[in-house]
């Protein structure tokens, strides 16, 4: 079965009105994408930011009259014409294509990230089982991959590790499978907390070897001993939060502890390093496609 697909180019203020109009026109599905190359890397919890220029894609039954749809949309939007493209979408095994998109990823010499439906390419390697989901971190993005490659070469055996902004939990789980004694996972997104717990279970991580904490509870431990100290702190978030968190993250580190910071663009390197300079000695940055991972040791 084939489908009729409309691509409509709009401004952010038109989104809700267009969505309502498409629903009146019996659209089967509606999606919104960035028309240009201006990605939104990590919205705040509960936020739904939009791009300056948006491409809306609506799917209709194949017998739908495209001319009638565009005419009706113009009427609902109160415009004479709309900027749109019409195409026929040929039916495919979409589930199979989605599954095939996610393949095992090798991250160094001994570490692999494997979707649950794949047999590990190297059964004798350290294989992190992780399926794509709503939380950030599958190993495909440069920021995560650089951290995993660092972990593959690191000595984390018996370390107490903090995975701050854990997302899917991929980095902390990799650390556990590589021999870390205990990992504390922290995030401010409930979806990330749920994803991390699910992924810990998939990887058969022992409950005594980890703690998963919402960021609010982690920061506000007034009636208990402060968390840490940690021999390794990993934070794969964004440059500005890393700068804001510099004092707090350094305070959680033991003497000679290692620090891994990722989610940083090349032009943000100096600002991030400056925020940590008093307490951290940095090594040369790891980089891929204009993304950086900064690693260092507490002075």
Taking the domains of the chain in order of start, what are their residue ranges? 2-91, 101-298
How far is residue 216's CA from residue 133's CA, in Å, rounded to a whole number? 23
Cis, bond preceding 229 (omega within 30 deg of 0): yes
How many other C-beta atoms lie within 10 A of the C-beta of residue 29? 11
Please check whether residue 235 is in contact with residue 293, taking contact to mean a CB–CB distance below 8 angstroms.
no
What CATH architecture does domain 2-91 belong to? 2-Layer Sandwich (3.30)
**114, 120 contact by CB (below 8 A):** yes
CA–CA gap between residue 153 and residue 151 (Å, rounded): 5
pLDDT per residue rounded down to tens, the chain (299 residues): 688 888 988 787 888 888 898 898 889 888 887 765 444 444 454 544 455 678 888 999 888 888 888 888 888 888 888 888 888 887 765 555 555 667 888 999 999 999 888 788 898 999 999 877 655 667 778 999 999 999 999 999 999 999 999 999 999 999 999 999 999 999 999 989 999 999 999 999 999 999 999 998 887 655 555 577 999 999 999 899 999 999 999 999 999 999 999 999 999 999 999 999 999 999 999 999 999 999 999 99
Q: Which two tokens stand for residue 59?
A: 């799917």
- The fold of 101-298 is Rossmann fold (3.40.50)
Cα-to-chain-centroid distance, residue 133 = 9
Write down the pTM of the prediction.
Answer: 0.71
DSSP assigned state of 43: P
* Torsion angle of C-alpha atoms 296, 250, 155, 293, degrees rounded to 10: -40
């Amino acid at each position: 079965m084939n489908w009729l697909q409309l691509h409509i180019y709009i401004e952010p203020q038109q989104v809700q009105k267009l969505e309502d109009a498409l629903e009146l026109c019996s659209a089967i599905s509606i999606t919104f994408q960035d028309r240009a190359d201006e990605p939104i890397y990590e919205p705040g919890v509960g936020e739904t930011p939009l791009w300056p220029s948006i491409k809306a894609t609506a799917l209709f039954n194949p017998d739908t009259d495209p001319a009638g749809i565009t005419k009706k949309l113009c009427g609902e939007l109160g415009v004479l014409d709309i900027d749109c493209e019409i195409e026929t979408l040929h039916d495919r095994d979409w589930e199979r294509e989605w599954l095939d998109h996610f393949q095992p990823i090798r991250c160094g010499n001994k570490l692999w990230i494997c979707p649950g439906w794949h047999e590990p390419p190297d059964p004798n390697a350290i294989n992190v089982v992780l399926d794509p989901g709503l939380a950030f971190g599958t190993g495909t993005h440069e920021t995560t991959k650089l951290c995993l490659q660092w972990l593959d070469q690191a000595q984390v055996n018996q370390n107490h590790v903090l995975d701050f902004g854990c997302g899917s939990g991929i980095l902390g789980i990799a650390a556990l499978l590589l021999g870390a004694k205990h990992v504390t996972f922290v995030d401010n997104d409930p979806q990330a907390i749920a994803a991390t717990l699910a992924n810990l279970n998939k990887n058969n991580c022992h409950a005594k070897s980890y703690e998963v904490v919402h960021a609010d509870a982690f920061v506000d431990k007034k009636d208990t001993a402060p968390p840490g100290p940690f021999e390794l702190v990993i934070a794969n978030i964004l440059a500005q939060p890393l700068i804001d968190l510099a004092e707090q993250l350094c305070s959680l580190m033991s003497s000679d502890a290692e620090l891994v910071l990722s989610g940083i663009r090349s032009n943000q390197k100096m600002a991030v390093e400056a925020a940590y300079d008093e307490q951290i000695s940095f090594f040369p940055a790891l980089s891929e496609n204009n993304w950086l991972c900064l690693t260092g040791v507490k002075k």
